Chains A and B, each alone.
Chain A
């Protein structure tokens, strides 16, 4: 390959070692573009939201549709209680993490399909990973798409340090979509106000935290957390999406406020 065609960095990349820190630093120099800067990524919780059924889901979808004239939405779905069942049976039977990841993907896909049929009359499509090249068209034409939150790592899902549950699940998959597309926001819709010092469903003394940085959150070493810990690691390395918000979708109006950039729920920032 002719060297004249390459920039200095290009030549270094072709000839150099991709583990060389000096070379890696230079790859941050070209300014990053934001692919879809107007789009908002929203993740609808599985266990926390979709498993509640009509009572929770219908009002949220109404609010979602009301926001379409003003906001583009990339809507990811969680997995929830059926994934827990599959993981539980799978772990008992000795399934490796990669197989559990496949099982989780299927549940997340079921939830995406259900949300899709509920929004179908508004012309909103469900896209599988292979259909992401059509995402910009659907956003421009219909203002929203639905995808399954689970990242498609399947057999290549990495082991967690403890236990066997896939560490990169639907919170992570949705977050990575917001980062790669340089989206305007990443909003997690759950059934609690946001982050607490402990699981508020189990500990009545748990205190609400409206705003926190990733390093503060990591230092606090809470036993439980409102988002997957992997999201926090990725936020620290992110180029585009340096904050996320967690809101209670059971309270009508919270999603609208979050989309308007108002302070609702918990905001976690990378710095």
Chain B
């Protein structure tokens, strides 16, 4: 700290004890001040891929669906480092329904859902244990991630972002908007990871749900802005991902692939376009 800082700290014209900095006395809401804080961001884990394994679509589907995905992941882990997130699946849906019936608010539902995804993280961790990949407790996961990923080829976390009772109230209804797809993507953005792959049980994004409408057409690639404008009735991923992509600095896209064709998971991590890519 320079001499100016000492003066400012001891005598402050507005009676507030400031520490000298570029943001001193500034409102962090002022639009011009905010614009001045746009600088290049470091990438903490530029070689690491984030892969989200669907809860309801793959883990709840049992052995037939998940074992081949686990095999595929084990092959990827021989050459690439993976942060694996999981969804909470059916049990989260069930706890939402009971919680809603009891009148509990969105933040409480978000807090409850953490447990289901953590259970699924342990299931996937058990299957990948032979490769040294286990579920990490959420309390230490973020801070120790760079250490873990240097010591093991991969780590697993419950994809839930730690919003808990601080979850944002959604525009419509009471379901927590930041679920496990969002948790995986925001983590990848913060750590500057190489890619984000969402693995579910559909080939990608369609103009409508292909299970309900056989004439739905496949969307191979789309921007978040265009996807928002299309106002599709349902999406195969968390809706907030579109908004998150619009403010992203380091990770500019994610790919949705079908885990029922497990070879596609390897292809997607290798950078091949084998599902739907949604980009910023």
Residues of A that sit less than 8 Å from B by CB? 1, 6-7, 9-11, 13-14, 17-21, 23-28, 30-33, 35, 47-48, 51-53, 55-56, 81-82, 84-85, 87-89, 91-99, 129-130, 132, 151-165, 169, 173, 176-177, 179-180, 182, 191, 199, 201, 223-225, 227-229, 234, 236-240
What residues of B have a CB within 8 angstroms of the CB of A26 in the complex?
173
Complex formed: what's the CA distance from A171 to B194 in Å? 33
What residues of B have a CB within 8 angstroms of the CB of A92 in the complex?
22, 39
Q: Can you list 27 A-B pairs with a CB-CB distance of less than 8 A?
A: A7-B101, A18-B175, A19-B238, A27-B100, A32-B104, A35-B108, A47-B16, A55-B15, A84-B23, A87-B23, A88-B23, A98-B190, A130-B139, A151-B166, A153-B163, A156-B142, A156-B163, A159-B189, A160-B34, A160-B247, A163-B37, A169-B28, A180-B167, A191-B16, A234-B169, A237-B170, A238-B169
Q: How far is the CB of B79 from chain A (nearest CB, A)?
A: 26
What residues of A have a CB within 8 angstroms of the CB of B186 in the complex?
98, 155-158
B147 at the interface (CB under 8 A from A): no
B233 at the interface (CB under 8 A from A): yes
Decide: A239 and B174 in contact? CB cutoff 8 A.
yes
If A13-B100, A157-B190, A225-B27 are given as contacts, then 17 extra A-B residue pairs at C-beta distance below 8 Å, sorted by A number, are A19-B237, A23-B173, A27-B100, A48-B16, A53-B17, A81-B16, A81-B18, A88-B22, A160-B34, A161-B247, A163-B33, A163-B36, A164-B39, A169-B28, A180-B107, A191-B16, A201-B14
**B162: contacting residue among A9, A32, A152, A227, CB under 8 A:** A152
Stretch of B91-99, B121-129, B265-273 with 4 or more beta carbons under 8 angstroms from chain A: B91-99
Mark each residue of chain B from 9 to 34: 1 if its CB lies under 8 Å from any CB of chain A, else 0.
Answer: 00000111111111111111111111
Q: How far is the CB of A189 from chain B (nearest CB, A)?
A: 14
What residues of A have a CB within 8 angstroms of the CB of B263 in the complex?
none
Mark each residue of chain B from 172 to 188: 1 if its CB lies under 8 Å from any CB of chain A, else 0.
Answer: 11110011000100110
Complex formed: what's the CA distance from A52 to B17 in Å? 6
Decide: B38 and A164 in contact? CB cutoff 8 A.
yes
Mark each residue of chain B from 67 to 85: 1 if its CB lies under 8 Å from any CB of chain A, else 0.
Answer: 0000000000000000000
Decide: B106 and A180 in contact? CB cutoff 8 A.
yes
What residues of A have a CB within 8 angstroms of the CB of B19 in the complex?
81-82, 84-85
B207 at the interface (CB under 8 A from A): no
Complex formed: what's the CA distance from A191 to B12 in Å? 15
**Most chain B beta carbons < 10 A, residue from A24, A28, A81, A238:** A81
B215 at the interface (CB under 8 A from A): no
Decide: A27 and B174 in contact? CB cutoff 8 A.
yes
B135 at the interface (CB under 8 A from A): no
What residues of A have a CB within 8 angstroms of the CB of B164 in the complex?
129, 152
Complex formed: what's the CA distance from A11 to B98 in Å? 11
**B142: contacting residue among A87, A154, A236, CB under 8 A:** A154
What 8 A-B pairs come out closest when comparing CB atoms? A10-B97, A98-B190, A180-B107, A163-B37, A24-B173, A27-B173, A33-B103, A84-B23
B161 at the interface (CB under 8 A from A): yes
For residue B243, which residue of chain A has the nearest CB?
A158
B165 at the interface (CB under 8 A from A): yes
Q: How far is the CB of A33 from chain B (nearest CB, A)?
A: 4
B250 at the interface (CB under 8 A from A): yes
Decide: A177 and B166 in contact? CB cutoff 8 A.
yes
Q: How far is the CB of B71 from chain A (nearest CB, A)?
A: 27
Complex formed: what's the CA distance from A98 to B42 in Å? 12
Decide: A21 and B172 in contact? CB cutoff 8 A.
yes
**A9: contacting residue among B21, B101, B142, B236, CB under 8 A:** B101
What residues of B have a CB within 8 angstroms of the CB of A6 in the complex?
94, 97
Complex formed: what's the CA distance from A20 to B212 in Å? 13
Decide: B16 and A94 in contact? CB cutoff 8 A.
no
Decide: B103 and A91 in contact? CB cutoff 8 A.
no
Decide: B190 and A162 in contact? CB cutoff 8 A.
no
Mark each residue of chain B from 118 to 153: 1 if its CB lies under 8 Å from any CB of chain A, else 0.
Answer: 000000000000000000000100100000000000
**B190: contacting residue among A155, A163, A191, A228, CB under 8 A:** A155
Decide: B166 and A176 in contact? CB cutoff 8 A.
yes
For residue A179, which residue of chain B has the nearest CB?
B169
What residues of B have a CB within 8 angstroms of the CB of A13 in the complex?
93-94, 96-97, 100, 175
**Most chain A beta carbons < 10 A, residue from B20, B175, B183:** B175
**B103: contacting residue among A30, A161, A163, A164, CB under 8 A:** A30
What residues of A have a CB within 8 angstroms of the CB of B26 in the complex?
84
